[in-house]
Amino acid sequence: MDSGLFTSLPPGAARLIDSALDEDLGTGDHTTSCLVRPGQRGEAVVRAREGMVLSGVAVAAAVFHRVNPGLEVKVSHADGSRVQAGEDIMHIRGALRSILTAERVALNFVGRLSGIATTTRRYVDAVQGLPVKIVDTRKTTPLHRSLEKEAVRAGGGYNHRFNLSDGILIKDNHIAAAGSVREAMRRAREGRPHHLLRIEIEVDTLDQLRDALEAGADVLLLDNFSVDMLRAGVALVAGRALTEASGGVTLDRIRTIAETGVDMISVGGLIHKARWMDVGLDVVGVGERTAAS
C-alpha cells in the first residue's frame, strides 16, 4: 500500500520531497510535456553505475509516488544493501511523463545518500573487530539531517544527537561562558530540561577530563587528543563514563584511534567528505496506454 512508503520515512520526508519537486519543476516540465504524449506508458529501471552501499531508496520510491500515485514501484535492493555496478535498484512502470518528470529528483536523493552510506561503510570497515562505534555529527546538509543520519546507519555507523534539543553537549565556547568545567557541569546538571538527557562535555586536557568526570559527566568528548592522550584518558575514565574521540579523524588514522579503547569516534567526514554515488535511470520500455488504464 502506498501509505506504507511514507510511514517508513522519517517525519517531514513527504514535505521535503514535495518541496524538492517544486524546486525542480518550476512552472512545469516543459520538455516532457512537448515530447511525450499524455497516454504514453513506460518502464524504467534505476541502476547503480558503480559499486555502493544503498541509502535513500525508499525516498526515491516515494518521489515517484508523489509525482503520480498511479506509478508501480518495485524496490530490488533496500537501504543498507551493497550493490555492484550494473545492478538494479528499483523498477518503475506507468505513465512515462511522470517517470521522466520524477527522475532527477529521485536520483538526486539516492545518489547523495548512497554516497554517505558508502563513505560510512569504509570507516566502519576500517575498525572491524574493535568495540568502537563510528558516529556522525551535526555537520549535515540543512533540511536533510534525518535522511543523512539514516544513511550513516545504512552504512553501519551510529548517530550522535539529532538536534540541539535531544542532548546536552557542552563545548569549549559554553565552558568559556560559564567560566570553568566545574561551573559548566553544575549549570547543566541543574538546568537540564529533563532527566532523560545525558550530559556530554568537550575536554581539551586531561585536567579538564578529571574535573568533568568528578562533576558527573555522562560522556566525555576528547577533542583533538593525541593517541597517547586518548589512551591516558580512557585509562583515567576507567569505564565510569563514555568516551568519544573527535577531531581530524581520517580513514588512515581511525584504526589507531579506535585501538586506544574509546567508546566512540565521531567523524564529520562521513557526511561532509562523501561524494555522490553514480546512479542512473534507464527507460527499458515505451508503450501506449492500453484501453484499461
Which residues, 7 to 46, sit near a second copy by CB under 8 A? 7-8, 10-12, 16, 19-38, 40, 42
Ranges within 50-69 binding a second copy (CB under 8 A): 67-69
Of 48, 56, 265, give the one whose Cα is nearest residue 150. Answer: 56
Q: Which of 195, 228, 252, 292 binds a second copy (CB under 8 A)?
A: 195
C-alpha to C-alpha distance for 217 and 42, rounded to whole angstroms: 59
Q: Which of 5, 61, 75, 95 binds a second copy (CB under 8 A)?
A: 95
Minimum gap (Å) between residue 166 Cβ and a second copy: 4
Ranges within 204-263 binding a second copy (CB under 8 A): 218-219, 242, 244, 263
Active-site residue numbers? 104, 139, 171, 202, 223
Q: Please classify residue 233 by burial: count the beta carbons closer than 10 Å to its beta carbon, then call 0-12 exposed, 13-18 middle and 19+ buried.
A: buried
Ranges within 101-120 binding a second copy (CB under 8 A): 101, 103-105, 107-109, 111-112, 115
> If DSSP codes are grouped into helix, strand and coil, which group holds residue 167?
coil
Instruction: State the cell numbers at 125.
Output: 570497515
Minimum gap (Å) between residue 235 Cβ and a second copy: 20
For 12-25, give one letter per residue: b (16+ CB within 10 A) or e. ebeebbeebbeeee
Q: Which of 200, 211, 225, 234 binds a second copy (CB under 8 A)?
A: 200
188 binds a second copy (CB under 8 A): yes
Ranges within 72-91 binding a second copy (CB under 8 A): none
| Residues sharing a CB contact under 8 Å with residue 204, sequence separation 6 or more, in sequence order | 172, 223, 224
List 199's β-bridge partners, or say none: 168
Minimum gap (Å) between residue 267 Cβ and a second copy: 13
| Residues sharing a CB contact under 8 Å with residue 203, sequence separation 6 or more, in sequence order | 181, 209, 211, 212, 220, 221, 222, 223
3 binds a second copy (CB under 8 A): yes
Q: Which of 39, 50, 51, 70 binds a second copy (CB under 8 A)?
A: 70
